[in-house]
Structure 1
Amino acid sequence: MIKHFINLEWKAFFRSPSFKTNLFFKILLGFSALWMIVSFLSMGVGAYFLIKNQLNTDPLVFLNNYLIFYVVGDLLFRYFLQKMPIVNIRPLLYLPIKKGKVIHFALNKTVLSFFNIVHAFFFVPFSVVLLIEGYPFLNVLGWHLALMALIFCNNFINVFVNSKDGVFYTVLAILLIFGGLKYYEIFDITLYTKPVFQAFYNIQYTALIPILLLVFLYKTAYNYFKSNFYLDGGLSKKIDIVKSEDFAWLNRFGSISTFLKNDIRLIKRNKRSKTTLLMSALFLFYGLLFFTDSIEAYKGPFWRIFAGIFVSGGFLFSFGQFVPSWDSAYYPLMMSQNIRYKEYISSKWYLMVIATLVSTILSAFYLYFGWQAYAAVVVGAIYNIGVNSHMVLWGGAYIKTPIDLTSNKKAFGDKKSFNAKTLLLTIPKLVLPMVIYAIGHFTLGEVFGFALVAISGIAGLLFKNKVFNIIEKIYKSEKYKTLAAYKQND
């Protein structure tokens, strides 16, 4: 039966409508995975000696001190990127195969996921080094098995967390709070978690606790899917009853208000769009890497504009680049209606402008780092509104990626998002404002550099209608290719 399942997976890959694209990106992902494996392997071998020589402390004790952040961070990372078993189960429901075998196959497939295996390339060599350095075999074995069991526990915890946004945001908030409290030396959570990880080494049989927890989670996941093993039951897409909202204050925008209202409802009601909103909020703090001089490579003056572009344009980039993909579920219906493309595009533009203005206001705390820091954010916002808002809408015409609003998978992008046209459009988005600022900065000073970037943004606003006419023509020319792409689910 396992051979049969593998055969089905093999056929699904080679018969995919975008096989050539998939093959290219599988190879690309393979090289990325190889790089991660080499990195983890290097850290596993060198971490012991680096900690011992540089910090002059017991490497195992030091590592146990921070393992809580490693384990929780792994869970958060999986939330965004790891594919859930439900994706593998649905296509098999039509075949004459016993439920138990299908579920076991789907769950075991996640066990063999790269997200689990990659950790072994750190912990196995680190454990071997511990043995070479004279640590007792049974103690190291118990510690190693306990940690690997916790990693696999994350695999099954993610099965449940992935379908519950509240759990994820709670875990993320707790991690950030405790991380911040430790950084500012207010409260150290590791004082309570370190003894737990140390106990896995000191008392070997305590390793049975995470192993038994792993067995329990596997059984729970199995029972969960078995009890919901129906297309019209647990495996169907969740449909929530929502309260109708009028958003009357948007009526001032005229005919495009209908689109604006729909976009706001989409953002409020769907998992993927909520995640995008969260990512946009995190962009507000991106400038700390540049304005605090914490990273030597980012101390160049033109990097301030780069930071300002991202701080004020987090929503613009994370949401705008996927227009019209946000509407992929009902895009064919929209195209059959009497809808003017220009009104549709304008509504997205206004939404990004509003978000950019809000981000700029919320970024006022950068004044603490000097007027230059906040000036970079402000002129970055002007450039985003005048130029980049047009660029992301333009690039969106070439990104034909249907978005599953109920899932966070591919929340950071998709293979179809990368092509020659979209990559070329990144030049005026990011490189051009840095060049413009550099010209002004190195001729008449930083104020002139800021002024040039702001003038570029204002010029983009003045030519808004002409640019929109060009974008509208591009959307129309790509219309049928986009509709065809949205019909593919691979």
Structure 2
Amino acid sequence: MFKHFINLQWKSFFRSASFKTNIGFKILMIFGALYFILVFLAMGLGAFYIIDKSGLGDPLQVVNGIMIYYLVVDLYIRYALQKMPIMNIRPLLYLPFRKGQVVQYSLGKTLFSFFNLAHAFFFVPFSIILLIEGYDPAGVVGWHLGIFALIFTNNFLNIIMNNKDSVFYPVIVVLVGLGVLQYYGWFDITLYTVHLFDALYNQPIYALLPWGLLIFMIYAAFHYFKKHMYLDGGLATKQSVAKTEDYAWLSRFGNLGIFLQNDIKLIKRNKRSRTTVIVSVLFLFYGLLFFTGSLEVYENPVWQIFAGIFVSGGFLFTFGQYVPSWDSSYYPLMMSQNIQYKEYLNSKWYLVIIATLLSTLVSAFYLYFGWEAYLAILVGAIYNMGVNSYLVLWGGAYIKTPIDLTSNKNAFGDKQAFNTKTLLLTVPKLLLPLVVYALGHYLVNPTVGYAMVALSGIIGFAFKDAVFRKIEKIYKKEKYKTLLAYKQKT
């Protein structure tokens, strides 16, 4: 039966609407995985001797002291990036399989996730080094098995957190609370957890406790999915009471106002779009890495323009790059109406322009770090509005990603956003303004560099109509490919 499930998964991959994109992205993921494997392997082989030579104490106790941080970071990364098995369950509900088999397969497949296997490249070499250095074999085995049980526990805890708010919020409150207490020095959780991890080595029998916790988490995840394994039940899209919102003041702008109303409602009512707005707010603080002098590598003046573009363009990049995917659930209906592409794209353009202006105003606190810091943000904003606003709309025509508005997954990006055309458009979005500024800065002076970047944005405004005609043609050319991609959920 499991062989049959794997066969179905294999066919799904090759028959996907984005098969070529998947192949390219999988290759990229393989290189990324190899990189992290080498990093983990190097850490596993060298951690013991580095800690020993630095005089920090017993290497095993040092590792145990920070193990709680390791597990928390692992859980955070899983929550942000790991794919949930619910996406594998839904298509199988139409087929004649027992619910238990489907859930077992979906949950079991997560055990072989890279997020689990990668840890072996650190802990296996580290455990071997412990044995070579004369540590008690029984203790090392008990410690090793206990740690891996906790890592797999994270796997199933993440699955439950993604589906049950009653678990997610308490876990977040506890972790944030402990983090705040640790930061201000009021309570150091590591003083207590280090003894728990030490106990896995000193008393190997205690390794049964993490395994007991793992079995409980497996049972909880299995029971939850089996109980809610109905399209009109636990796996259904969550519904909420609709609220009437009146944006009559936008109606004076005609069709443009109607589209803007829809976008504002979309952002306010859906989890994914709200998360994107939150992410764009975080971009406002990205400049602290560049303007505070905290990192020497970013002291080059060219990096200030890079920071200015990201600080002012957070919403532009996170929201704008997925036009028209935000409307994927009803895009076919829109295309059957008498809607002009120019009006549709114009509304999206105004939305990102307004957001860029607001971001620029809010980021005025960077004046604290000097007028040059805020000048870089102003110049970056002009470039974003005059050049990058067109480029994100242009690139959106090639990103045929149907977005699940009820899910936070991929709020930071999506694999289907990776293709040759969007990659090429990254050059004028990010690299061109750096080159333009560098030419003015090093050939004349910094003021000329800023002026040249700002002038590029102003020229972009002047050619708005011509650029929009070009983008409109691209959207029309890609129209039916986009409709097909939205029908084939990948």
The structure-2 alpha-carbon separation of the partners of 1:243 and 1:170, relative to structure 1 and needing over 3 Å to count, comes to farther
- Give the aligned partner of residue 262 of structure 1: 262
1:146·1:207 contact (CA, 8 Å) conserved in 2?
yes
Please say if 1:483 is aligned against 2:483.
Answer: yes
- Give the aligned partner of residue 11 of structure 1: 11
- Give the aligned partner of residue 473 of structure 1: 473
- Give the aligned partner of residue 34 of structure 1: 34
Q: How far did residue 389 of structure 1 move?
A: 0.9
The structure-2 alpha-carbon separation of the partners of 1:247 and 1:140, relative to structure 1 and needing over 3 Å to count, comes to farther
The structure-2 alpha-carbon separation of the partners of 1:119 and 1:247, relative to structure 1 and needing over 3 Å to count, comes to farther
SS at match of 1:236: coil
Per mean C-alpha deviation after superposition, the further-off stretch among 424-433 and 133-142 is 133-142
Cα distance between partner residues in 2 of 1:445 and 1:195:
59
Q: 1:299-322 CA deviation, whole Å, 9 max, x = no partner?
A: 211011001111111111011111
Residue type at the aligned position of 2:82 = Q
Cα distance between partner residues in 2 of 1:441 and 1:181:
46
Please say if 1:221 is aligned against 2:221.
Answer: yes
- Give the aligned partner of residue 117 of structure 2: 117
How many residues of Structure 1 are paired with residues of Structure 2 in the alignment? 490
1:287·1:311 contact (CA, 8 Å) conserved in 2?
yes
SS at match of 1:406: coil
- Give the aligned partner of residue 326 of structure 2: 326
Q: How far did residue 217 of structure 1 move?
A: 1.1
- Give the aligned partner of residue 285 of structure 1: 285
Please say if 1:239 is aligned against 2:220.
Answer: no
The structure-2 alpha-carbon separation of the partners of 1:34 and 1:137, relative to structure 1 and needing over 3 Å to count, comes to same
Q: 1:449-490 CA deviation, whole Å, 9 max, x = no partner?
A: 222222222222233233223222222222222212212222
Residue type at the aligned position of 1:267 = I
2:21·2:418 contact (CA, 8 Å) conserved in 1?
no
The structure-2 alpha-carbon separation of the partners of 1:132 and 1:250, relative to structure 1 and needing over 3 Å to count, comes to farther
Alignment RMSD, CA only?
2.5
Q: How far did residue 120 of structure 1 move?
A: 1.5
SS at match of 1:97: coil
Residue type at the aligned position of 2:197 = F
Q: How far did residue 192 of structure 1 move?
A: 4.2
SS at match of 1:321: helix
Q: How far did residue 18 of structure 1 move?
A: 4.1
- Give the aligned partner of residue 304 of structure 1: 304
Cα distance between partner residues in 2 of 1:177 and 1:49:
34
The structure-2 alpha-carbon separation of the partners of 1:50 and 1:366, relative to structure 1 and needing over 3 Å to count, comes to farther
Q: How far did residue 402 of structure 1 move?
A: 1.5
- Spell out the pairing of 1:367-406 with structure 2 (5 A cutoff): 367-406=367-406
SS at match of 2:119: helix
Per mean C-alpha deviation after superposition, the further-off stretch among 382-391 and 200-209 is 200-209
Cα distance between partner residues in 2 of 1:173 and 1:280:
23
Q: 1:113-168 CA deviation, whole Å, 9 max, x = no partner?
A: 11111111111211222222222223322322222112111111122211356865
Residue type at the aligned position of 2:108 = N
Please say if 1:463 is aligned against 2:448.
Answer: no
- Spell out the pairing of 1:75-94 with structure 2 (5 A cutoff): 75-94=75-94
Cα distance between partner residues in 1 of 2:150 and 2:337:
52
Per mean C-alpha deviation after superposition, the further-off stretch among 338-347 and 363-372 is 363-372
The structure-2 alpha-carbon separation of the partners of 1:251 and 1:138, relative to structure 1 and needing over 3 Å to count, comes to farther
Per mean C-alpha deviation after superposition, the further-off stretch among 459-468 and 187-196 is 187-196
Per mean C-alpha deviation after superposition, the further-off stretch among 267-276 and 189-198 is 189-198
Please say if 1:453 is aligned against 2:453.
Answer: yes
Per mean C-alpha deviation after superposition, the further-off stretch among 44-53 and 179-188 is 179-188
Q: How far did residue 359 of structure 1 move?
A: 1.9
Cα distance between partner residues in 2 of 1:167 and 1:458:
50
1:142·1:200 contact (CA, 8 Å) conserved in 2?
yes
Any unmatched runs of 5+ in structure 1? none
Cα distance between partner residues in 2 of 1:489 and 1:278:
26
The structure-2 alpha-carbon separation of the partners of 1:317 and 1:125, relative to structure 1 and needing over 3 Å to count, comes to same
Q: How far did residue 171 of structure 1 move?
A: 5.4
TM-score (norm 1): 0.92
Identity of aligned residues (%): 64
